[in-house]
């Protein structure tokens, strides 16, 4: 049922779009949780739950191998260097556009934990949103929602129409235990359009291979083949991620790729280490040059913008897994397991309630297009941006809207924009909209997180004041703990 729209100050405020802030710098504890393994074998935890050939999605992974963020957030790693895809979408020739697109996607693979880490499996209905603001005044928006539980499908939509591109994908995260090793990967295609040239591109993801299940340390490396294709121009690319052999590590993080022209003739070769430097060679002229250096990429990385924690809906990834992440970062594995179990149990309870009521859980951002592997963002826009008639693009509660140029927002237009916002803002003291019955208990838990955070800040201030007073206090030479008094006694 559609909620009536009241045209008041709160409604007008929402028309400015979702308020994003700069992402806080990651703490050293977070970095440690991402980078360090603890040398434990996970085989016994796995064997207690596994059968040969069984998907790892059906077991609970020990938290010491978990990356403290959801898969929905992790997918933004591949969008880290958006200046490269913006350049690709505006390159003058089809050849350059394919080269730059490959460069863009490969630039995200260095953001891989050194230790073997697996992100959280998203819960059904969980969503994530973020944005980037660029120097040219344009904005990139990223929206993701967990649209299926079995199979586990994450649907994403990303766009910067002013820069000339739109992309989407319904991605199935699959992990399989193979006895001595495990493989994990994202099945499904990313589909993108360069709107200024009416070109459609598709590409897949490689696999992650995990060894050391029996004998630590756990090691993860990327393997498999990426295939890129542009349907209109006929240009293609094939990139192979090489893996280490039993006797040699010479292939560690090495890739070898080819970009081919419409006739299938190789015109570029790509090689190197994706976490250090890649090189590209023009096979026609034999000219070899740097494709990118990771250290240089890091200097030009654009800041990703996020929502303030207290403004997040309870089903947004960062808030949903907050207590699990805090426990992992503090290296409290028992608490992390407990918190993770609480969420998984709530999801199971919600499924039972849905079955009893014979209802399907609503997906608020994406519509099913036939199969569980095919979902469409409800407000997708694949049209070329027209600067003569179109103005600013906004994301409002999960809905991406393009305003008309110099548009004056009357009451009718405001109602049109706000009528179907999936996750509207709510006032303090009110229950957030669209809360699932089995997850309402989380509201009190989130409040405790904020209360504890406030107490920690107060304690820090108190400790700081105490230390300052100690430094300012005069030294009493008669005090038995005073250095001079101790010397005198000696």
Task: Please list the rounded mean pLDDT of every run of 10 residues in the chain (490 residues).
Answer: 47 65 60 51 55 56 80 95 98 99 97 79 96 94 96 96 98 78 84 98 90 69 94 98 73 93 98 97 98 96 91 94 93 89 93 93 94 94 97 94 87 86 85 90 76 65 66 52 38
Q: Do β-strands 118-120 and 66-70 pair in parallel, antiparallel, or remain unpaired?
A: parallel
Phi, psi angle pair for 293, to nearest 5°: -110, 130
Those residues with Cβ within 8 angstroms of residue 131's Cβ, 6 or more apart along the chain or in another chain: 18, 20, 139, 140, 141, 142, 304, 305, 395
pLDDT, position 283: 98
CB of 205 closer than 8 Å to CB of 185: yes
pLDDT, position 415: 86
User: What's the pTM value of the predicted model, to 2 decimals?
Assistant: 0.84
SS3 at position 419:
coil
| DSSP per-residue string spanning 350-387 | HHHHHHHHT-PPPPSSEEE-SSTT-EEETT---SPP-T
| Structural domain contains residue 195 | yes
| Structural domain contains residue 150 | yes
| Structural domain contains residue 482 | no
Q: What b/e sequence results for 427-440 when a residue is b if at least 16 CB atoms lie within 10 Å of its CB, and e otherwise? A: eeeeebeeebebbe
CB of 193 closer than 8 Å to CB of 166: yes
pLDDT, position 182: 73
| Structural domain contains residue 225 | yes
The count of residues in the chain is 490
pLDDT, position 62: 66
| Structural domain contains residue 304 | yes
Task: Please give the tally of structural domains in the chain.
Answer: 1
Q: What b/e sequence results for 180-212 when a residue is b if at least 16 CB atoms lie within 10 Å of its CB, and e otherwise? A: eebbbbbebbbebbbbebebebebbbbbbbbbb
Rg of the chain, C-alpha, whole Å = 26
Domain with 281, as residue range(s), is 17-374
CB of 241 closer than 8 Å to CB of 209: no
| Structural domain contains residue 193 | yes
Q: Among candidates 45, 51, 44, 47, which has minimal Cα distance to 63?
A: 45
Tokens matching residue 66: 């978990």
Among left, alpha and beta (phi > 0; psi -120 to 50; other), residue 471 is: alpha
| Structural domain contains residue 171 | yes
Q: Which CATH number is 307's domain given? A: 2.40.160.120
| Structural domain contains residue 401 | no
| H/E run at residue 391 | strand 390-396
Those residues with Cβ within 8 angstroms of residue 188's Cβ, 6 or more apart along the chain or in another chain: 153, 169, 170, 171, 172, 204, 205, 373
């Amino acid at each position: 049922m559609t909620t009536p729209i009241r045209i008041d100050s709160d409604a007008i405020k929402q028309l400015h779009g979702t308020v994003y802030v700069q992402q806080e710098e990651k703490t050293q504890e977070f970095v440690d949780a991402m980078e360090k393994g603890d040398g434990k074998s996970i085989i016994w935890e796995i064997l207690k739950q596994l059968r040969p050939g069984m998907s790892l999605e059906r077991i609970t992974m020990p938290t010491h191998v978990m990356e403290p963020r959801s898969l929905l957030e992790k997918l933004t790693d591949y969008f880290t260097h958006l200046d490269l895809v913006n350049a690709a979408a505006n390159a003058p020739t089809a050849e350059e556009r394919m080269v730059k697109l490959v460069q863009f996607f490969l630039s995200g693979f260095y953001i891989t934990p050194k230790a073997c880490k697996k992100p959280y499996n998203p819960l059904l209905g969980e969503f994530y949103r973020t944005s980037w603001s660029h120097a040219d005044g344009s904005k990139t928006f990223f929206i993701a929602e967990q649209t299926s539980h079995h199979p586990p499908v994450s649907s994403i939509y990303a766009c910067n129409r002013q820069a000339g591109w739109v992309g989407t994908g319904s991605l199935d995260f699959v992990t399989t235990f193979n006895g001595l090793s495990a493989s994990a990967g994202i099945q499904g295609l990313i589909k993108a359009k360069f709107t200024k040239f009416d070109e459609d591109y598709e590409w897949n993801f490689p696999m992650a291979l995990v060894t050391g299940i029996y004998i630590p340390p756990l090691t993860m490396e990327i393997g498999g083949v990426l295939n890129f294709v542009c349907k209109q121009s006929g240009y293609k690319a094939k990139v192979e991620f090489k893996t280490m052999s039993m006797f040699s590590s010479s292939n560690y993080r090495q890739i070898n790729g080819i970009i081919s022209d419409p006739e299938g003739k190789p015109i570029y070769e790509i090689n190197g280490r994706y976490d250090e430097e890649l090189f590209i060679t023009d096979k026609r002229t034999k000219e070899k040059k740097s494709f990118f250096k990771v250290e240089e990429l890091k200097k030009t990385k654009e800041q990703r913008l996020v929502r303030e924690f207290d403004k997040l809906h309870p089903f947004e990834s960062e808030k949903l897994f907050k207590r699990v992440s805090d426990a992992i970062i503090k290296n409290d594995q028992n608490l992390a397991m407990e918190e993770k179990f609480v969420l998984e149990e709530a999801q199971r309870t919600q499924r039972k309630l849905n079955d009893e009521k014979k209802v399907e859980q609503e997906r608020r951002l994406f519509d099913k297009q036939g199969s569980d592997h095919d979902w469409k963002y409800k407000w997708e826009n694949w049209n070329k941006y027209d600067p003569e008639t179109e103005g600013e693009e906004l994301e409002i509660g999960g809905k991406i809207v393009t305003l008309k140029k110099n548009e004056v927002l009357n009451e009718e237009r405001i109602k049109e924009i706000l009528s179907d916002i999936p996750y509207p803002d709510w006032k303090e003291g009110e229950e957030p909209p669209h809360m699932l019955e089995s997850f309402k208990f989380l509201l009190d838990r989130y409040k405790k997180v904020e209360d504890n955070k406030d107490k920690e800040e107060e304690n820090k201030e108190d400790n700081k004041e105490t230390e300052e007073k100690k430094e300012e206090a005069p030294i009493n030479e008669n005090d038995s703990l005073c250095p001079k008094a101790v010397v005198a006694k000696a």
